[in-house]
Amino acid sequence: MRTVVEGGYVVAVDAAGSEHDGGHVVLEEERIVAVGPGPAPAEWREDAEIVDARGALVTPGLVNTHHHLYQWLTRGHAQDAILFDWLTALYPLWSRIDADLTGVAAAGAMAVLARSGCTTVGDHHYVFPRGSGDIVGAIVDAASRIGVRLHATRGSMDLGSSQGGLPPDSAVETTDAALAATQAAVERYHDASPASMVRVAVAPCSPFSVTSDLLRESAAQARALGVRMHTHASETVEEHDFCLERFGRTPTQYLEDLGWLGDDVWMAHAVHLDPDEIVRYAATGTGVAHCPSSNARLAAGIAPVHDLLRAGVPVGLGVDGSASNESGQLGIEIREAVLVNRLRTGSDSFSVRDGLRIATMGGARVLGRASEIGSLEPGKLADVAVWRVDGVEHAGILDPVAALGLGALPPLQRLFVQGRAVVADGVLTTAEEPVLAEQVAAASRELASRL
């Protein structure tokens, strides 16, 4: 099985920043075997499917580094709230979720991600009500049906409101139960192989919903299992104040004390970091999932991405959960990142190519997969987006990368995941979108009826 994509504007996002106007990319089985200028060499064309990409922008598939897929069932709530009020409004609904509903939500959210150019889906699930079934398994199954690469993280909460935490006691697990279930999820679903479609990381939720014990023991557990670690950090002023009051430490100092900085860790948000904290992230190789739309919706602030990148911190892009970003489209987060970072640090501080880079190679670094995904280079996995930029939205634009980074989200001619066309001519090939929509609507009603 070989596919030749040729004639498009190819942006490799490799170390050299290679771009080929009218170039080619060749996919064979699950890997990229050739990338370069002009048409593909004759030896690759034999028996190949030829995709005519003239008028298209060809990029690596986008990598999502932070999401809560289950929130696809709870969009549109608490529209004008800041994080803590928004969470408090939604916890009662979320604490009635189960594996079946999560599977429906995940399929809907992943369909929308794929339709916006995303080939690798990072998820963070941290609500596990008693008797809710195999939620991680439901997410793994949904990813397999939609055909995307999954980085599931097994989250947890064990600091209920009776102990000074934010979530109600009904939404949290015990420390031991959370650790045991996390161990089981990694052992059952994590695939460490280079072409892996499913990896699992350890992900206690946040400093205000998790005990110090669970954070410390989760770090030891992840390192014993050889998997990555993920949590929310420095998202809001309120979280910063919570850590100062409760622990006498900033979120970064507190997390570092508990073993939570390192090149096997990535944090969602990292909005409120002072220069010393950025130095600690850089010195330890700790990664960041930048979630501009969610941070704007909750008025959390603008992450210092320009400074993080200049310091050498790995930065990826994330949509965050769909209850704080109802779009759930990763492609448009490139534009959001460009716009908000310019508001923070100036018009020349963050280019459309910077946006594309964090959405691809940056995300690959954050997920520990820089040698496998994130760029168009021979030997990498065949995750490729072919965006039409010759329609009425973009025709005539000076720079095809600006079409993606400043213009409307372009339609996808193809989205390849592991060499398989998951999107073709703007439509998902792996599921019927109207059926998914009906299932999501019914599941949202079912969850609401449980309140």
Q: List residues binding Zn ion (CB under 5 A).
A: 268, 320
Cβ-based nearer residue to Zn ion, 185 or 203: 203
- For Zn ion, give the closer residue by CB, 239 or 320: 320
Rounded least distance, CB 113 to Zn ion, Å = 15
Smallest distance from the beta carbon of 340 to Zn ion, in angstroms?
Answer: 17
Q: Which is nearer to Zn ion, 67 or 394 (CB)?
A: 67
The candidate with the shortest Cα–Cα distance to 387, out of 423, 362, 339, is 423
Reported as half-sphere exposure (CB side, CA atoms, 13 A), residue 72 has a value of 30
SS (H, E, C) 375-423: CCCCCCECCEEEEECCCCCCCCCCCHHHHHHCCCCCCEEEEEECCEEEE
Q: What is the rounded distance in angstroms from the CA atom of residue 134 to the CA atom of residue 140?
A: 10
> Residue 292 and residue 294: Cα distance in Å, rounded?
6
Q: Shortest distance, CB of residue 124 to Zn ion, whole angstroms?
A: 6
Q: Give least dist CB 413 to Zn ion, A.
A: 31
Distance CA 381, CA 396 (A): 32
Q: What are phi and psi of 312, to 5 degrees?
A: 95, 15
Task: Give the Cα separation of 278 and 311 in Å (integer).
Answer: 7
Nearest approach, Cβ of residue 323 and Zn ion (Å): 9
Closer CB to Zn ion, 79 or 144, in the complex? 79
Smallest gap from Cβ 289 to Zn ion, in A, equals 8
Helix, strand and coil content of the chain, in percent to the nearest 5, comes to: 40, 20, 40
Would you say 264 or 320 has its CB closer to Zn ion?
Answer: 320
Measured from the CB atom, the residue of 320 and 326 that comes closer to Zn ion is: 320
- Among the listed residues 164, 173, 294, the one whose alpha carbon sits nearest the alpha carbon of residue 242: 164
